[in-house]
Amino acid sequence: MEGVENGGKATQCPNCSAAVVLSKSAQKKVLKQQRWEAKKAEKKAQEKEHKKREGERKRKEWEETLASLSEDERLKMIESRKSLRKERMDKRSEERDRKTERLTRAKECGQKIVIDLEFSHLMTPSETHSLVQQIMYCYAVNGRSREPCHLWLTGCKGEMGTQLRRLPGFDKWSVEREDGSYIEALESEKNNLVYLTADSENVVDDLDRSKIYIIGGLVDRNRWKGITMKKAEEQGIQTAKLPIGKYLNMCSSQVLTVNQVVEILLKYLETKDWKASFFQVIPQRKRLQAADDSSEEPQQQKVEGRGKSEEKDDDQYERPFAVTSTLLQ
């Protein structure tokens, strides 16, 4: 075959008799992903073994401590430990109840934020997995927030839906899940839909509770620039961008993750302060300096809401791909 002669590698398609030819670039991507998955599996095994050893060490120390005590002292220590354990369990139960109460209230009157998952057909399964990890983190952050949003996940079908359903407890998440698009799910509120995109000329000065803000989810490696703006224009819905450029300058080629975009919105709901929200969420490495309010407005940097940076301070779910949530500024 021509592809093989030119350096391509032929692999057998599982659903057909024909061979699929991978380019050198595609081969490198496959190998990179395989190495990453192998490294991840190895790290997970090491963490599991370390946890097992720590458990055994603590159990041995406990047994040795009990053995050195008198019968009365041993009973008192065992009772004290039981009491501390019960206290921790009660505290966790109270925290779960408070979280449930906040999320229930958010469903009734909270700011609606939609993560648009209709781009799964443009992504590989591995890229989709990367985005799913970001969504998991978004849900966790929302649950911890003092002012959680009413979170919607739309387009939960195909490979995206399959991977989401694999998440432990996903069916019990306090979110709205829709297989269809947000246009279908929120048809009666189309006039209130606002797609966040840096290509928009409109700047969000304040979050409007009557509006529904949409964040696009796409792992694209810069393949689909401007896709969210184009989609919004075709659907005839409003667009806007966050006022990041008013408060700080971004390093070139740096991007925001999906969870960072959601977290910025959550911080603003709590503080009503964009600058504080940006500085609390955006890692310092991504900032050149704060914008000087007394000087001319800094040149606007295109900040893409993507989910897989390579920084330690972003979070454990942010490897190895970049996840486009929306082009924000």
At 218, which CATH number?
3.40.1280.30
CA–CA dist 66, 302 (Å, integer): 62
Does the annotation count 220 as an active-site position? Answer: yes
Within a domain: 168: yes
Within a domain: 274: yes
CA–CA dist 209, 229 (Å, integer): 22
User: Has this prediction a pTM greater than 0.75?
Assistant: no
Domain of residue 278, residue span: 110-286
Active-site pick, 116, 220, 314, 315: 220
Within a domain: 277: yes
pLDDT in the model for residue 5: 41
pLDDT in the model for residue 253: 45
Q: Give buried/exposed letters for 150-180 (b at 16+ CB in 10 A, else e).
A: bbbbbbbbebbbebbeeeeebeebbbbbbee
Within a domain: 36: no
Within a domain: 136: yes
Within a domain: 153: yes
> How many domains, the chain?
1
Within a domain: 130: yes
Splitting the chain (329 residues) into consecutive groups of 10 residues, what average pLDDT does each group show? Answer: 46 45 77 83 90 91 88 88 89 84 88 92 79 91 93 90 89 91 92 90 92 87 78 93 84 67 94 92 72 44 40 37 39
User: Is the bond preceding residue 125 a cis peptide, omega within 30 degrees?
Assistant: no
Within a domain: 321: no
